[in-house]
Structures are given as structure tokens and as C-alpha cells.
Amino acid sequence: MEVSYLPAGFLLILSLFAVLVSGSRRTLPIISFDEGYTQLFGDDNLVVHKDGKKVHLSLDERTGSGFVSQELYFHGYFSASIKLPADYTAGVVVAFYMSNGDIFQSNHDEIDFEFLGNIRGKDWRIQTNIYGNGSTSIGREERYSLWFDPSDDFHQYSILWTDSQITFYVDNVPIREVKRTVSMGGDFPSKPMSLYATIWDGSDWATNGGKYRVNYKYAPYVTKFSDFVLHGCAVDPIEQHISKCDIAESSQAIPTGVTPLQRIKMDSFRTKYMTYSYCYDQARYKVPPSECVINSQEAERLKSFDPVTFGGGRRHHGKRHRRSRSRHPEDISI
């Protein structure tokens, strides 16, 4: 399906990349909930704060809850500050993601932040993932721990999506960059998407493969959202004209989005906090997917604490290393 993009998208993309290349603090406009979103499901399990800028989503035995952007977007920068539920959160999944599954049911695209709860005393884990053109048979997951407790306070989670790359950020630190390659073909997300946020029961898989399930004794589980940024090319899916966003993004003047300083921080984060990458999962992929660029040091580090998944051999508990955890953001600073 050929779609049309609003003329304002041209200016949105140019201003977006001007902010990114400047290296200064982002000053993208923060909108109220009603300006950009509408309730998806959950009845009164979605509560908008009286100032209109904060939203609470909750999960109880009756239902989860969620919201969705009012517009479809084709590329841009999308962000929210999120505070996750505390205490025992096994089986609870909070998701902040882009998708067009309601329009392209057999060949949808997706860009995911997924927050996977845990048993008491264990920290939330973050998972990022992408699908393009319905390529769900190839999971492109990465998982990470964090340098802070995401249930203590609000932290910013952001997605930059362009024609050539996708970058995930936590508190303005890039944690993952997915560059479009020829080998990915249609597996790179390339169709307009809506932005979603949900909380739901993922007992069957979210914590230790479903070993620990949601315990509704601790319900309701409440996650809080604020500081909404929807800065992209809004799409009218009905009209059919050439996209001016495409023209803007094909310009050689547009930067990559990750500065040299940010790349150092990203490498540091991944060295300290990445716990899983699909590219090294030998149990799932005998040959890594074609877009993977194998880093030998990264491979050895992952193999050291999970030799079955990342080394293809037997598990030797004596060789498994537990990494120490710092809670200070300075650990990923220069």
C-alpha cells in the first residue's frame, strides 16, 4: 500500500536531526496525553493525571491496560519517561513500542522496548526487539540489566527510527543501534507505525521462561508514564502521494544520530549491562542472521556466563561469572 505523508513531516525530520547532531540537551516538545494518545484497552485501569501529562496503567486479575497514538508515523523520535512497578513483579510485562499489526496483520513491523518483571530481590530486565515485514520467525532480541532501579523513579526511554537505522536510548544514552543492511531486505521496519504502551500478564514466558508467574496478591501493578514526545512524520494512510519525508531523509546532510561521545557511552553500556543478544545465540541460530556483525570480545563475554546459549557446549557452573552491579550513571560516562 502506498501512503501519503503530511507536508509538515519535512520540517519535523529536519528539526529532529538538527537536535540530534547538536549534541546538546534535547528540547523536543513534550505533549499532554490527550494531544497525542487515546486509550487502547483496560477501562478504568488507565488513569490520566489531573494535569493531563501523566498516565497510570495498571494490571490486576481482571485486565491489563494500554494506550495508542492517535496518528501513524513514518520515522521520527519517540519518547516517554516511565516508572515501573516495584516489589514482586514476576510475569509482569510493560511494553513501550511501535507497531502496525492492526493494519498489516500478515507482514507487520515492530520496534520494541519490553520491560520484564522479576521475583523479589531481582531487578527488572529490559528487552529490545525489532521485526520487519512479519519476520517474527527471527527474533532480534537483546536484553540488559540497568545501572539504576527503574521502579524507584522515572527514567526516559526513547526510539529513533529513520530510513537507515533504529537507535534505542535510556536517559539519552544510546544502548542499541540497528543499521539497515541489504541482507535484511524487508526485515527492516519500513511501513508507518503507531506508538503503544501496555501492561499485561506475560506469565507464560516473561520470567525464567514461565517458571515464575504473576502473583495477584501484589496487584494492582501500576506503571507510570510522563514526558511524552511524538516527534515524527504523521501519516495519512488513505491518500497516495510521494513522501516528502523520504526526500528529506535521503539527503547526505542528515547525520547518523549517534555522536562519537554517545558511541563510547553505548559501547560501555553494552559491555557492562548486556546479558543476551540473538546474534550470539547458538542454541537458536547455528548460523547468525545475515545482518549480525560478530564481535569476538562480546561473544566471549556472553559465553562466560551462559556457555550453553552462547558457546554451544555443556554448562559448567564453576565457570559462570556473576557481574557486580553499580547503580551510578557515572559508570557509563566519560
Q: Which residues are catalytic?
A: 110, 114
Please give the Cα distance from 27 to 33 (Å, whole number): 18
Closest of 207, 229, 236, 16 to residue 93, by C-alpha: 207
Please give the Cα distance from 334 to 331 (Å, whole number): 8
The three cell numbers of residue 173 are 544514552
| Largest separation between any pair of C-alpha atoms in the chain | 62
Q: How does DSSP assign 141-177, residue by residue? A: -EEE--SS-TTTS-EEEEEEE-SSEEEEEETTEEEEE
Q: Which residues contact 33 (CB under 8 A, 6 or more apart)?
A: 48, 52, 53, 54, 55, 67, 228
Please give the Cα distance from 118 to 141 (Å, whole number): 18
Closest of 174, 141, 176, 171 to residue 156, by C-alpha: 171
Please give the Cα distance from 19 to 288 (Å, whole number): 35
